[in-house]
């Protein structure tokens, strides 16, 4: 009897042990199947979504209003000059300001507010009502108006603090002011790039530390691999006003920060979010901000030279009928604004071309650091579907409007760019830490 009990016990124990081995084998096989499935999924190209009729209607309306606003940007300054409204504002400013600086500041405030009110109906439709009708905005009319009013206040403060510099140069050096102003724009743009994310943006949005600590740790781990040390992660509340997703990285030294909107955290899965973060880190590591400090001043240099040449000619021939004889006169501000705007618009395709190149470089950086082609492509698919984007816009639209390459082309790039699978060298491998 004892032997029978021992045999039964041995069989029972053996069955448990064999069951564990079998379960372990099944678990291992299951994990292997999952890994194989993921690998197969990575190898499957992601298709570019079709351009829906609703998306087409949305983009057509945006394009029409962009053309209309571009036309207004030429028409309104011209009317300020032709009706002598600019000269009348100058006379009013002189009566109250008396001294040169205060005259200039008062004129600038009135001119800025007048433009704000003139463009308000167009901006209301283009940036609020249209976005509201297509489900992109959650913002109330009061919230939208308050935010834009605050932007005008910030513009007026910055203008009053710095606008006197180019006008002083206009007075002191009528033939070289454009050159000196262009040189001074380099530190000014650098100053704005430093203070806007740290001091200006918090005026409009609520920033807090990232709520998902596990995800935050993975973001910091990715930052460490990208060679970025000491960065902090912030989550910005945007869902109360918009459904648009946003992310960026900025700052230097102890102000380095990775900022993610709560909409992008909710709208993307973990792999997609980490890819987007890798993209923004690419902009930072590859020094795209520094590159912009070369491109923008160069564009301003050419634009101001054209302003100098064209405005000098127009002032000489039409200045008296407009109510001024020198470009340093505050009444000439619409003329300077008009000529500068047209010159900058002509040069904009060059700036956008460089921006598209930067975006492609950042996309390549993110692919190399994450090696997640599918997350790259699926994130773009979500953007196309949720933002009603045109995946393959016309060449003209791309040249004059798009800071990013066509999203359809980016999806193709995400599907195809896999040099690590062919044993080819990575373009940015030397920038990464670890494996």
C-alpha to C-alpha distance for 178 and 201, rounded to whole angstroms = 30
> What's the per-residue H, E or C state across 236-305?
ECCCCCECCCCEEEECCHHHCEEEEEHHHHHHCCHHHHHHHHHHHHHHHHCCHHHHHHHHHHHHHHHHHH
pTM above 0.85, yes or no: no
Measured N-to-C along each axis, helices 270-285 and 373-387 cross at an angle, to the nearest 10 degrees, of 100
Give helix then strand counts, H and E, for the chain.
Answer: 16, 4
Question: Above 70 in pLDDT, residue 308?
Answer: yes
Question: Above 60 in pLDDT, residue 198?
Answer: yes
Across the range 23-32, mean pLDDT stands at: 42
Question: Above 80 in pLDDT, residue 27?
Answer: no
Question: Above 70 in pLDDT, residue 1?
Answer: no
Across the range 94-110, mean pLDDT stands at: 93
Confidence of residue 434 (pLDDT cuts 50, 70, 90): low
Question: Above 80 in pLDDT, residue 182?
Answer: yes
pLDDT at 139: 85
Half-sphere exposure in the Cβ direction for 23 (13 Å, CA): 6
Cβ atoms within 10 Å of 157's Cβ, excluding its own? 10
pLDDT at 98: 82
pLDDT at 188: 86
Cβ–Cβ under 8 Å, residues 48 and 408: yes
Question: Above 60 in pLDDT, residue 250?
Answer: yes
Confidence of residue 379 (pLDDT cuts 50, 70, 90): very high
Please give the mean pLDDT across all residues of the chain.
Answer: 86
Name the DSSP class of 233: E
Give the helix ranges, DSSP H, for 44-99. Answer: 53-82, 85-97
C-alpha to C-alpha distance for 49 and 378, rounded to whole angstroms = 10
pLDDT at 301: 93
Cβ atoms within 10 Å of 217's Cβ, excluding its own? 12
C-alpha to C-alpha distance for 154 and 160, rounded to whole angstroms = 10
pLDDT at 435: 58
Cα 209 versus chain centre, distance: 21
Across the range 8-29, mean pLDDT stands at: 38
Least confident stretch, 188-192, 265-269, 373-377: 188-192
Cβ–Cβ under 8 Å, residues 415 and 46: yes
C-alpha to C-alpha distance for 105 and 415, rounded to whole angstroms = 54
Pairing mode, strands 257-261 and 247-250: antiparallel
Confidence of residue 241 (pLDDT cuts 50, 70, 90): confident
């Amino acid at each position: 009897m004892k032997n029978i009990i021992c045999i039964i016990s041995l069989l029972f124990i053996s069955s448990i042990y064999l069951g564990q081995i079998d379960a372990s084998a099944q678990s291992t096989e299951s994990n292997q199947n999952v890994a194989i499935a993921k690998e197969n999924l990575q190898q499957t190209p992601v298709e570019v979504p079709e351009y829906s009729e609703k998306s087409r209607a949305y983009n057509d309306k945006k394009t029409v209003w962009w053309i209309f606003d571009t036309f207004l940007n030429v028409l309104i300054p011209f009317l300020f000059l032709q009706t002598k409204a600019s000269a009348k504002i100058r006379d009013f400013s002189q009566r109250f300001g008396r001294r040169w600086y205060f005259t200039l500041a008062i004129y600038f405030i009135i001119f800025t507010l007048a433009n704000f009110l003139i463009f308000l109906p167009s901006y209301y439709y283009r940036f609020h009502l249209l976005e509201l009708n297509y489900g992109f905005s959650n913002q109330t009319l009061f919230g939208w108006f308050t935010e834009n009013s605050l932007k005008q206040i910030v513009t007026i403060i910055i203008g009053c603090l710095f606008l006197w510099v180019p006008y002083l140069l206009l007075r002191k050096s009528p033939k070289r002011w454009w050159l000196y102003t262009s040189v001074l724009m380099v530190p000014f743009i650098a100053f704005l790039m430093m203070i806007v994310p740290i001091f200006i943006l918090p005026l409009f949005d609520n920033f807090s530390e990232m709520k998902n600590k596990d995800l935050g740790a993975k973001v910091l781990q990715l930052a460490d691999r990208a060679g970025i040390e000491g960065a902090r992660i912030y989550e910005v509340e945007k869902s109360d006003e918009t459904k648009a997703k946003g992310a960026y990285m900025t700052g230097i030294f102890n102000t380095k920060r990775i900022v993610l909107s709560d909409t992008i955290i909710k709208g993307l899965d973990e792999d997609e979010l980490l890819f987007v973060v890798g993209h923004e880190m690419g902009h930072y590591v590859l020094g795209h901000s520094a590159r912009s400090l070369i491109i923008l001043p160069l564009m301003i240099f050419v634009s101001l030279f054209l302003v100098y040449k064209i405005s000098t000619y127009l002032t000489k021939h039409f200045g008296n009928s407009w109510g001024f004889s020198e470009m340093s006169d505050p009444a000439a501000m619409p003329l300077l604004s008009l000529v500068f705007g047209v010159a900058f618009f002509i040069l904009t395709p060059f700036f956008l071309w460089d921006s598209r190149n930067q975006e492609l470089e950042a996309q390549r950086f993110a692919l190399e650091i994450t090696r997640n082609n599918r997350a790259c492509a699926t994130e773009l698919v979500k953007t196309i579907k949720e933002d009603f984007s045109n995946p393959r816009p016309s060449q003209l639209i791309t040249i004059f409007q798009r800071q990013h390459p066509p999203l359809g082309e980016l999806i193709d790039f995400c599907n195809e760019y896999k040099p690590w699978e062919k044993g080819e060298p990575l373009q940015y491998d030397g920038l990464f830490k670890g494996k």
